[in-house]
Amino acid sequence: MSNIDTKETFLLRNNKGIEENSRLSAKAKQRMGKAKADNTIRAYRSDWSDFVDWCNYHEEPCLPTTPETIVNYINDLADDAKANTVSRRVTAISENHIAAGYGRNNPAKEGIVRIALSAIRREKGTFQHGKAPILMETLYLLSDCFGDDIVSLRDKALIFLGFAGAFRRSELVRIRMNEITFAPEGMTIFIPHAKGDQLGHGSTIAIPYAPDEEICAVRAVEQWILTAQIQQGPLFRGFKRNKDLREEQLSDKSVALIVKKYARMAGLNESQFAGHSLRRGFATSAAQHDVDALTIMRQTRHKSEKMVHRYIEQGNIFKDNALARMYRK
């Protein structure tokens, strides 16, 4: 069997079946090409490439493949990968088969694949060790590290707003000036697209003024806008070597680098923190302050309570601790 080319068989981008369909308009083809987010496509492409490499080595067909091939593949994969990684690989295989026209006869949906996945989850567990959260208390540590220069003002606004709005990295760097509205109570930010908002309805996040100016996201953003004299375009941008402001938005990877920088300056272990530490920190801090799950979800835009309840459990791990109650008595 000759080696299969990943590029030719990955159809979630540049799907020839759609591109060569003369009955579809150019507008329809263009919109269908954006059915999934770019980050999702990149992850699926990487997953599909690994599956194709395995099929090439074992001389098995990849498109269409068989349920038995998928089961054998994920059992080899499970020797070194986490259960959540295995599940994502199966999803990538399934989505690519759907894109190729095998939706009704999708091998990834067969019963033996579900049984194999269940066995792997039971054996390995599905707990994921995430990065450490930036808690409300941590913000006070970080606030001592910001200077009065323009770079520090941007970083302060980014970190405080990332926490207050429970933003994902991609959401934070995509904020534009025309999506921000200031009010006597604080500010609102309209998010046109989010991970859980696949239909693009958008959502509006409210950020009230903090009683303590030291950690106030609204004041930090106001100061950044005023100093940088930003009137339109992206809120958060990079700098040229001469410290002039760039026109382009920051990359989402920059959020992690900025968080790590100030964690290090505050004397924390920077390897434990990342861009997601801001969003996770908000949810965990809210749980520590006895905020209910639905109220937390309104700010984090989670569609499922499962992850939020995990944050609540982590936030209350000492508060609802049996030994702590015994000590209090």
**DSSP SS3 for 203:** strand
Choose the catalytic residue: 311, 319, 325, 329: 311
Judge whether 168 counts as a catalytic residue. Answer: yes
Choose the catalytic residue: 13, 124, 195, 237: 195
Residue given tokens 């459990």 in the structure block: 313
Choose the catalytic residue: 89, 279, 280, 301: 279
**DSSP SS3 for 289:** coil
237 and 248 Cβ atoms separated by less than 8 Å: yes
Choose the catalytic residue: 154, 169, 301, 302: 302
236 and 158 Cβ atoms separated by less than 8 Å: yes
Choose the catalytic residue: 97, 276, 280, 301: 276
**CA–CA separation, 88 vs 44, rounded Å?**
8
SS3 content of the chain, % helix, strand, coil (to 5): 55, 10, 35
Choose the catalytic residue: 168, 174, 219, 301: 168
Please state, in angstroms and as integers, the Cα–Cα distance from residue 45 to each residue in 27, 64, 249, 320, following that order: 24, 16, 25, 43
Question: Cα torsion for 283, 289, 294, 298, to the nearest 10°?
Answer: -50
Judge whether 289 counts as a catalytic residue. Answer: no
Judge whether 169 counts as a catalytic residue. Answer: no
Q: What is the DSSP letter of 151?
A: H
User: How do beta strands 245-249 and 237-239 pair?
Assistant: antiparallel
Judge whether 131 counts as a catalytic residue. Answer: no
Judge whether 261 counts as a catalytic residue. Answer: no
Judge whether 154 counts as a catalytic residue. Answer: no
Residue in 17, 16, 13 with CA at minimum distance from that of residue 35: 13
**CA–CA separation, 46 vs 17, rounded Å?**
21
**Start-to-end CA span in the chain (Å):** 72
Q: Which residues are catalytic?
A: 168, 195, 276, 279, 302, 311
